[in-house]
Amino acid sequence: MLDIYNRLLSYFGHRNWWPGETKWEIIAGAILTQNVSWKNVEQAIENLKEAGIFDLEAIYNAPPDQIAELIRPSRYYNVKAKKLKAVAQHIMEKYEGDIDIILSKPLPQLRKELLDIWGIGPETADSIILYAAELPSFVVDAYTKRIYNRLGIFTAEVNYDEMRDYFMQYLPHDKELYNDYHAQIVALGHNICKNKPKCQNCPLEELKLCIDNGGKS
Ligand code: SF4
pLDDT in tens, 84-103: 999 999 999 999 999 999 99
Considering the domain architecture, whether residues 100 and 128 belong to the same structural domain is answered as yes
Residue 201 domain-assigned? Answer: yes
Which of 17-26, 37-46, 156-165 is the least confident region? 17-26
* Ligand 1 centroid – CA 151 distance (Å): 7
* Ligand 1 centroid – CA 207 distance (Å): 10
Question: Last residue of a domain, which of 132, 159, 178?
Answer: 132
Q: Which domain holds residue 145?
A: 2-15+139-207
What values do phi and psi take at 127, rounded to 5?
Answer: -65, -40
Q: Whose CA is nearest to atom 2 of ligand 1?
A: 199
Largest CA distance in the chain: 54
Residue 212 domain-assigned? Answer: no
CA distance 179 to 165: 16
215, pLDDT greater than 50: no
Q: How many domains does the chain have?
A: 2
Considering the domain architecture, whether residues 47 and 110 belong to the same structural domain is answered as yes
Residue count of the chain, please give it. Answer: 217
The answer to whether the CB of 193 is under 6 A from ligand 1 is: yes
Residue 32 domain-assigned? Answer: yes
Q: Tell which one of 190, 199, 206, 208 to mutate to probe ligand 1, the residue whose CB is within 8 A of the most ligand atoms.
A: 199
Q: Kindly report, residue by residue over 101-126, the tens digit of the pLDDT.
A: 999 999 999 999 999 999 999 999 99
Which pTM value belongs to this model? 0.93
Q: How far is CA 96 from CA 17, 21, 92, 101, 143, in A?
A: 29, 21, 5, 10, 37
Q: Kindly report, residue by residue over 140-194, the tens digit of the pLDDT.
A: 999 999 999 999 999 999 999 999 999 999 999 999 999 999 999 999 999 999 9
Considering the domain architecture, whether residues 127 and 143 belong to the same structural domain is answered as no
Question: Last residue of a domain, which of 101, 132, 163?
Answer: 132
Considering the domain architecture, whether residues 124 and 147 belong to the same structural domain is answered as no
Closest alpha carbon to 7 in 133, 137, 164, 151: 151
Closest alpha carbon to 110 in 89, 92, 93, 87: 87
The answer to whether the CB of 153 is under 6 A from ligand 1 is: no
Considering the domain architecture, whether residues 69 and 149 belong to the same structural domain is answered as no
Q: Tell which one of 198, 202, 212 to mutate to probe ligand 1, the residue whose CB is within 8 A of the most ligand atoms.
A: 202
13, pLDDT greater than 80: yes
CA distance 101 to 140: 26
In this prediction, residue 190 carries a pLDDT of 93
Question: Last residue of a domain, which of 76, 102, 132?
Answer: 132
Q: Are 83 and 120 in contact, with CB atoms under 8 Å apart?
A: yes
Q: What is the CATH number of the domain that holds 180?
A: 1.10.1670.10
In this prediction, residue 16 carries a pLDDT of 65
51, pLDDT greater than 80: yes
Considering the domain architecture, whether residues 123 and 33 belong to the same structural domain is answered as yes
In this prediction, residue 216 carries a pLDDT of 47
DSSP labels, 21-72: SSHHHHHHHHHHTTTS-HHHHHHHHHHHHHTT--SHHHHHHS-HHHHHHHTG
* Ligand 1 centroid – CA 139 distance (Å): 20
